[in-house]
A and B are shown apart, each in its own frame.
Chain A
């Protein structure tokens, strides 16, 4: 790369390459399809956390428990995002715990909100199995589990 190349040319050159798709078992959870998983987890993390913070600050006294639960969900989404983006055995274990936590959360709160309407005074990310978020909170843990299994290193 010559020094006289303009920054535009440099950018162009860096984006002028195509790699072969890496083997999921070698690339770790943050590569290839994993980028898509991490992106969607990140968007959900920001959405859930920001919303819960706003609810708690703006009218937290109305329904402290659902809002606190939403905040917890948001924080665990952040943990899942970071753990999936990183590689290594510790990050993998953390990702498993976070993803399973989200799965249990969305199913438990989903059942509670459907079986006993009004058990939660206000919406959370997990209400009605994540209805308010296009059921992404319900689908994502399964995608996460599938991806964590798919990227497991061969023994």
Chain B
């Protein structure tokens, strides 16, 4: 995996995580600006998924394919789900959900790096 891209995912997801924790503390629901930030993370994840697919086909790495793509798809799913709930839940709990989603992205990114070796 392209390391700068991974670092960008870590950094941007951490921003979303901290931002939503700050909102939880202040008892506020998710705002649109946070969803733009989450969209940036999502775009980075999508670019990463495509580039990883290309790299896998081109270089043919020895990798546990099922596990790897399982993590990739889970990572791609959590932020849109959290964003959808930001509209439905206009209390601080939408911020908690976004924080959980951002944390999941960070955790999965770390696992992906481990798998890639």
Report which A residues bind B (CB closer than 8 A). 11-12, 14-22, 31-36, 39-40, 42-43, 46-47, 50-51, 53-54, 57-58
Report yes or no: A14 in contact with B87, Cβ–Cβ below 8 A.
yes
B94 surroundings in chain A (CB, below 8 A): 35
Known contacts being A39-B100, A51-B67, is A15 close to B31, with CB within 8 Å? Answer: yes
Report which B residues bind A (CB closer than 8 A). 28-32, 35, 64, 66-67, 70, 73-74, 77-78, 81-82, 85-87, 89-94, 96-97, 100-101, 104
Residue in chain B with minimal CB distance to A8 = B32
Alpha-carbon separation in the docked complex, A50 to B86 (Å): 26
A51 surroundings in chain B (CB, below 8 A): 67, 70
Interface of A (DSSP majority class): helix
Question: Nearest-CB distance from A146 to chain B (Å)?
Answer: 16
Question: Nearest-CB distance from A108 to chain B (Å)?
Answer: 26
Alpha-carbon separation in the docked complex, A31 to B89 (Å): 7
Alpha-carbon separation in the docked complex, A20 to B28 (Å): 10
Report yes or no: B93 in contact with A18, Cβ–Cβ below 8 A.
no
Residue in chain A with minimal CB distance to B67 = A54
Known contacts being A35-B85, A54-B70, is A15 close to B100, with CB within 8 Å? Answer: no
Alpha-carbon separation in the docked complex, A53 to B70 (Å): 10
Alpha-carbon separation in the docked complex, A115 to B100 (Å): 33
Question: Nearest-CB distance from A86 to chain B (Å)?
Answer: 14
Known contacts being A21-B91, A35-B97, A50-B70, is A15 close to B35, with CB within 8 Å? Answer: yes
- If A15-B87, A35-B93 are given as contacts, then 8 extra A-B residue pairs at C-beta distance below 8 Å, sorted by A number, are A32-B89, A35-B94, A39-B81, A39-B82, A39-B100, A39-B101, A40-B100, A51-B67
Known contacts being A21-B92, A33-B93, A51-B67, is A43 close to B31, with CB within 8 Å? Answer: no
Residue in chain A with minimal CB distance to B89 = A35
Report yes or no: B86 in contact with A36, Cβ–Cβ below 8 A.
no
B91 surroundings in chain A (CB, below 8 A): 18-22, 32
Alpha-carbon separation in the docked complex, A51 to B96 (Å): 26
Known contacts being A43-B74, A50-B74, is A36 close to B93, with CB within 8 Å? Answer: yes
